[in-house]
Amino acid sequence: MSNSPSNTVWIGYDSRQAAAFAVAKYSLRKYERNIPVYGLVLDSLRDRGLYRRPMEMRDGKMYDVISDAPMSTEFSNSRFLVPYLAKTGMALFCDCDVLFRTSVARLFDMVSYGSKAVYCVKHDHQPTETTKMDGQVQTRYYRKNWSSVMIFNCDHPSNQRLTLEMINSLPGRDLHRFCWLEDDEIGALPQEWNYLVGHSKQESSPSLIHFTNGLPDIEGYEDQEFANVWLAMKPHAVGAL
């Protein structure tokens, strides 16, 4: 079912990281051109009345008022709207600071349509750093980075509990731990599909690289693993927008 029209991909968009979004989409399209790809744009979601969470700027950083916590990206919590937006089928969400190294169709082939409600790499990610990216706060929470790459089975009955009211009223830490699901409703993906640079056990050829500490074009992150691949692709990706 890898090329089924019910498979979709949703990439988080942050206006401060437009180049990252471009690279993520360009790298995906390099290997797979048949599966629809969409950007998760906060302003558009607000205009449609789907995202109503109050946000403030504190010391130059975005804060989610309900969570009383910083938001490192504009899609920190809007990612949970993906089942509502996709409506049916299998929908992949990923952060924008990723790089695809193979066809995403392979990932969809790994998951069972009728089995689990959500699939993700079940990281044990406990960062020791206090900051990441361009000075953003490195937050710690249960099941950290599980939700940075996840496939929603939009037709699974348990995902019907993930309502717009819940998405717009619960603290982000509850959403990121998949509070609407039982543990056995969360399926596991292999590490290669959310390889955390600087944290995951080293692999020679991961399928999806995640620059979770900082993008390669940020000072101090230019020499991290796979940075040269991302930097070489960036001008082509930005030019293709």
Query: How much of the chain exceeds pLDDT 90, in percent?
Result: 83
- For the stretch 56-98, pLDDT in tens is 999 999 999 999 999 999 999 999 999 999 999 999 999 999 9
Report residue 127's pLDDT band, with 50, 70 and 90 as the boundaries: low
Half-sphere exposure of 184 (CA within 13 A, CB side): 0
pLDDT value at 133 more than 60: no
Domain-wise residue ranges, the chain: 8-239
pLDDT value at 137 more than 70: no
Residue type, 126: Q
Mean pLDDT, rounded, for 159-179: 97
Give the Cβ contact number of residue 70 at 10 Å: 17
For domain 8-239, give the CATH superfamily. Answer: Spore Coat Polysaccharide Biosynthesis Protein SpsA; Chain A (3.90.550.10)
pLDDT value for 141: 58
- Spatial separation of the C-alpha atoms in residues 11 and 28, rounded to whole Å: 10
Residue 150 is inside which H or E element, if any? strand 149-153
pLDDT value at 139 more than 70: no
Contact 210, 197 (CB under 8 A): yes
pLDDT value for 138: 47
- For the stretch 173-229, pLDDT in tens is 999 999 999 999 999 999 999 999 999 988 779 999 999 999 999 999 999 999 999
Report residue 144's pLDDT band, with 50, 70 and 90 as the boundaries: confident
pLDDT value for 3: 45
Sign for the CA dihedral angle at 37, 38, 40, 41 comes to positive
Residue type, 83: P
Report residue 115's pLDDT band, with 50, 70 and 90 as the boundaries: confident
Report residue 1's pLDDT band, with 50, 70 and 90 as the boundaries: very low
Give me the chain's average pLDDT, please.
Answer: 92
Q: Please give the full DSSP string across 100-134, using - where no structure is assigned.
A: E-S-THHHHHHS-TTT-SEEE---------SEETT
Report residue 36's pLDDT band, with 50, 70 and 90 as the boundaries: very high
What are the residues whose beta carbons fall under 8 Å from the beta carbon of 219, sequence distance 6 or more? none
